[in-house]
Amino acid sequence: MPATWLAKRLRRAKSDLRHGFSPTRLREHGSKLWLGVAKATLALTIFLALSCIDSFALLSPDPTTLSSGFLVIVGAYPGGSTGKCFQAITLGGFGLALGVLVYTILGFLAHAPTAQGFVFAAWVYLAALVRFGGPKYISFYLYGVLFSFNGIHRTITTGEFRRELLLADFIAYAWGIAIALGVNVLVFPTTAEEQLRSLLVTSLQHVATLAHLTCKTFARELDAEESEVRQVLAKSLRSDYLALDAQLDEMKYELAVSKYSLRHFRDMIGAVQALQQALITSSSATDLIDSLDPNGVSSRRLLSRAETARTFADFRHGIDLVIAEIIDVLVGPVAVEKSLETGTHDPEKQATERTDQDGAAQAPAPSVSDADDADELEGNGRLGAALHTTPTPVATQEKMVTVAAKLKREVQQAEQRHRRIREDFVRERSESRRRGGSSPSTSRPATPSLRPVVSPRASISETARGRATTRESDDTVVPGEDAGGQEPVVATKNPELAGPAHEDVVRIFRAAWDAFARSQQDALVSLIKDGSLQVDDVLLIEAGMPSIKEMYADRLPKAWTSSLVAQTQLARLRSRTESVSAPSVASETPTEETACSEALTRSYSLLFGLGQLTEGLYLLHDLATREQPKKLRLYLAHTLADKVHRFFRPKDTLNLQQALAILHGQPYTEPRKPFVHYIVRAERWAWSQRSTYAAKVAMAATVYAVFALAPVLQEQVFLKIGQVSALITVIVAVAPTLGGTLSTWLFQISGTGAGALLGFITLEVFKDTGGYRYNPYGITAIGAIWFAWSSYKFLLHPAKYTQSLLYVVGYGGIVLQEYMHSDLPGVESQYDSPPLRFGYTIASLAISMGISAVFQLFFFRQPARHRLRLQLADTMFRLSAYNSLLQAFVNLVAPADEAPTPKPDALAKVHRELVKREIRIQADILALAPTFQFAKIEPKFQAPFKADSLLRIMRSQQIILDRLREARTAVGLHGFNATIHHDFANVLFPYRLHSQRLSRTLFYLSATSLMCKTQLARDVPSSKPTWSSFEHDALVLSRRLSNLPRGEEELKRPGFLRYWFYLVSLGSVSNELEEMEKYLGDLFGDPDESNPYIS
């Protein structure tokens, strides 16, 4: 298996070299990539050229240290945005400052090598703890550790601490930072704020396209191509989510002239993410409706009225209007047109940038260039289906652009048709008035479509006012509904011909949504009231539980002939069971109607999701169009100020346990924590993945230091082969997981080997030419080409950071050292020949990889597959805890009895805790992607890697989190209104208790199965009958309520929509938990057989 994987990787590398610079591939990438490549190449070439100039090199007390500047330049990201460069330099500067301090301490400890080893190990441990925090800390890690080790190296070569050598090492790092910063800022700078605006525009375009496709899915107007694009867009929203957060993190470090503050950008990103979540809700609801009602009966009934179809079209057109106005404010109409024109030519790069902005270990989806890559691409696609984070292929991206343009044309054509009808009607009415005051209805028959479109603003506003009159003071507004119900401002004197002015586009859009939601609720209430849902007027909650014989009637033996039991009862029981399950011609229509009723209840989720979309667009429009003056903003200062204010802000006086005790009316006493408790917590933290990773890096670096400090190894190995440059191999190769180390080894071998080999060949080619021992002009020219290739690889595939870094360091180190020792005056000395230096470089690489291999394989071994299973189990336990807390919260805001009003501060504390846990669980789920990728490449001889089953579990966890978040949103902070609370929540409270008990059991079984690698029992409890009865009785109560005098008005209130959304969301959680049982069975095998291992 490892040999197969290595051969596949080698074939992939060969294919990349063959197709990487083909004309077709060159045209696919945009100017942004090539500008970044040019800037990174320019910075590295300038440094190499300056280092070959005698006057520049002799500015340093020790010119041979200048070779370390290559690493500094690559780590500073000169080809990235100014925010990314400033972020790397700021964090790297902190690491360098600490490295200087440790360097000084190690220098003063020159007389005590053992003390040097302990100090260096402690510093590497602390730096590795920081490095574990994410890719953005790589410059801090490399600058600090590599610079500090020079303190040991210098004391070995000189025998004492010399300040001029410390200054020489620091000058090399300083020149690297200065050149990288200068090129990044002075040569066509691109700000992170500009990229963030572009990402916001891309995300909004995805939101608009997916919103239209969701609406077309609901209306049953979707073709095959649009259906494929809808599925891809629903998954790619997670990539937009990650890219926006990463871009905002980079923007915090830059200085820019903008009218938006950091808080405004953060609020806009939060609004866009809310839009994405709303579309995930709506898309999931349409999928459920399609699965329950494949014939589209519910959609036809809900959209059968002409008024509904018109308001639906107005709502879709309003989405385009609002998003277009937001985009115009963010980047301007010219930039939007340009991005749309170039979007088709650059789809792969957009996907790469959207997914890998933070340099995570998740590689983008490659183009399939030969048959050997098909398996890997298929695996990446399955991962994207599970986590929604994998970039889409080029062909699918082109389909997305095509479908988006097609949808925009359709909406514009529909709007033009409505405008022509409206203008014709107004013109005819004016002519009839001039002829004698007759109405259009007297001159020609009226069509059903004319009357609703006579005055859309007036009709929409009147509908909104009608809804407002039916709302009581304790009812929560539906997301997206205009609470005031005011008529939007009309820009012209003729309201029929008035177009959407700039200042009232959003109000018209909200009014259109209000009208559509009203028509949908009218249709739903009508179906509930007239009995079209085929629901018996019997509450199952009042029926007795079935006997044991009835529960297992379908599994009784056919030849059961006991003389003690009457055969007639059993026969009657069986015939009743078979009559229900057997298909027949007479039952075709009721079956279809039953499916329709189940799909109609899921329509409440669709309405709620579209309402959240409306509210999110309103909020985002308000944030984007807010009038603010442009001024110079130092975002880093604002970030630090916010952190200081947060530190001095009054702390929350309530903890979660105290808030729950107050809400339950129980006294709370702070538990006393003995000293042993803190010792146990410290021990757990010491054995955490972060601490064990840092400990392994520190131990490997310590062993590496032994080669420098032990007298025999120092003379025979360290100084002889020049192993000082191989420390980077050790500290990078020791990864948190074994799979990460395997991929890093490949990058290190290819990076260092290829770079050093090219340097060796270049030195031999330009040896004794032009009056130099090694011609600097040829070295610089070849170096520029090589730097362009390495920069291209890194910017195209940020996950290959290590490989690109070693490309540059391997080449620059060998050529610069050879040139300076041979041609620089004052430094000329006997030095290894290029072939010998190349051999020493490969030998030091092998030694460093051997050190990392020992510690990865024999000390705190952490296979990625084992880590993936623990991460899945931990996420499942967190979901279980969140579910229990949400159930407690619901029982508090919607109790069964007349309990006193809960204290608002305690409720707010529990609500904030729920939101915090959602964010933490979402981060845990997204962190599964790189671990899964590393787990695939690990060799496993004991059992196969069941990738499909694991991907299904990961997808189920994401769906469960989405549904639990939706349930929390539906309940809100204050629960339901009085009618829902009294007539629904109280009556159906036993269902709630029973379903909560079952869900806690299912969560616990799934989590413990993952934690212990144990199969689940065959007959685990099922909650599907409970939720089926729950929804049935809720429909029965709804029908009974509709027959009361004010019943219809009660059913049309927003609280009823939120209650149904809550039921559907929690019911989906239970269904997903039962599906996960099947996946766990596939993963761990039959419970009647021995327990197989997966890791």
Q: Where are the domains of the chain?
A: 18-189+692-702+721-858, 865-1084
Helix (H) or strand (E) holding 334, with range, is helix 333-343
Task: Assess contact for 766 and 737: CB atoms under 8 A.
Answer: no
How far apart (Å, rounded) are the C-alpha atoms in residues 1071 and 757?
Answer: 58
Distance of CA 1088 to the CA centre of its chain: 39
Cβ atoms of residues 1021 and 1001 within 8 Å: yes
What is the predicted pLDDT for the residue at 6? 54
Sort strands 772-774 and 767-769 into parallel, antiparallel or unpaired.
antiparallel
Task: State how far the Cα of 864 lies from the Cα of 867, in Å rounded to an integer.
Answer: 5
Strands 631-634, 772-774: parallel, antiparallel or unpaired by DSSP? Answer: unpaired
- Which residues sit opposite 256 in a β-bridge? 633
Q: Collect the ranges in the chain with pLDDT lower than 70.
A: 1-30, 293-294, 296-298, 304, 306, 332-503, 530-535, 544-598, 600, 722-723, 827-829, 896-899, 941-942, 1017-1020, 1086-1095
CA–CA separation, 31 and 428 (whole Å): 54
Among candidates 796, 603, 654, 759, which has minimal Cα distance to 33? Answer: 796
Strands (E), 207-292: 255-258
3-state percent helix, strand, coil for the chain, nearest multiple of 5 = 75, 0, 25
Using CA atoms in the order 10, 13, 17, 20, what is the torsion angle rounded to 10 degrees? Answer: 150
Residue 176 phi, psi (nearest 5) = -60, -45
Nearest to 725, CA basis, from 782, 827, 806, 786: 806
Q: Is 337 exposed, middle or buried (0-12, 13-18, 19+ CB in 10 A)?
A: exposed
Listed residue (317, 287, 275, 320) closest to 480, CA to CA: 275
- Look at residue 548 in the predicted model and tell me its pLDDT: 67
Residue with tokens 């470090």: 253
DSSP 997: H
Q: Where are the beta strands (DSSP E) in 448-585?
A: none
Going 128 to 133 to 136 to 137, the CA torsion angle's sign is negative
Largest CA distance in the chain: 115
Topology (CATH level 3) of domain 865-1084: Methane Monooxygenase Hydroxylase; Chain G, domain 1 (1.20.58)
Q: Looking at residue 882, what is its pLDDT?
A: 92
pLDDT recorded at residue 274: 87
Q: List pLDDT tens digits, range 941-983.
A: 667 788 888 888 888 898 899 889 988 888 888 878 778 878 8
Asked if 282 and 606 count as a contact pair (C-beta separation under 8 A), the reply is yes
Residues in the chain: 1095
**pLDDT value at residue 179:** 94
Distance (Å, whole) CA 927 – CA 689: 14
Specify the pLDDT at position 684.
87
Closest CA to 492 of 507, 481, 503: 503
- Burial code (b: 16+ CB inside 10 Å, e: under 16) for 24-48 equals eeeebbbebbebbbbbbbbbbbbbb
Selection from 616, 629, 628 nearest residue 506 by Cα: 616
Distance between alpha carbon 42 and the CA centroid of its chain, in Å?
Answer: 34
Sign, CA dihedral 731-736-737-740, equals: negative
- Residue 651 backbone dihedrals phi, psi, to 5 degrees: -75, 155
With a CB cutoff of 8 Å and minimum separation 6, the contacts of 883 are 964, 999, 1000, 1003, 1069
Phi and psi torsions of 768, nearest 5°: 55, 50
CA-nearest of 344, 384, 390 to 364 is 390
Residue 1054 token pair = 């927003």
Inter-residue contact 482 to 464 (CB < 8 Å):
yes
3-state secondary structure of 570: helix
Residue pair 467/1057 in contact by the 8 Å Cβ criterion: no
Q: How far is CA 22 from CA 16, 797, 829, 899, in A?
A: 10, 17, 44, 73
**CA 178 to CA 963: how far, in whole Å?**
50
